[in-house]
Amino acid sequence: MKMEKLKKDFISEEDLEKKELREFKDNFEDNLKICIKREEATKKSFTNKLDRLKKKYLKLQIKIKEQDKYWRSVCNRYEEKLKSK
């Protein structure tokens, strides 16, 4: 009776290695999935930031064009006034 109980309680070295290997594999797969999710989140975050910067850049380009138009018209009016005098 005691011998059978000892055999049940005793885990062979091979079984222990298999168990550790299985746990390592499971943990590795879980960690890999977590890393992939983080990578995707980072890519998405980067893409969102890039999109926001593009929008800001386009808005600034539009403002620059508007300012350029305004100042050109001011200069043209001033030149016309000078010519008429």
Residue range 37-52, pLDDT digits in tens: 999 999 999 999 999 9
CA nearest to 34, candidates 26, 45, 7 = 26
Within a domain: 5: no
Is residue 11 one of the residues assigned to a domain?
A: no
- The better pLDDT of the pair 57, 18 is held by 57
pTM here is: 0.52
Percent of the chain whose predicted confidence (pLDDT) is above 70: 87
Q: What is the extent of the structural domain holding 67? A: 25-84
Asked if the structure places residue 10 within a domain, the reply is no
Of residues 70 and 1, more confidence is placed in 70
Q: Is residue 12 part of a domain?
A: no
Nearest to 41 by CA among 49, 54, 29: 49
Mean pLDDT of the region 17-27: 84
Write down the pLDDT at residue 4. 61
Number of structural domains (the chain) is 1
Q: Is residue 8 part of a domain?
A: no
Question: Residue 60: left (phi > 0), alpha (psi -120 to 50), or beta?
Answer: alpha
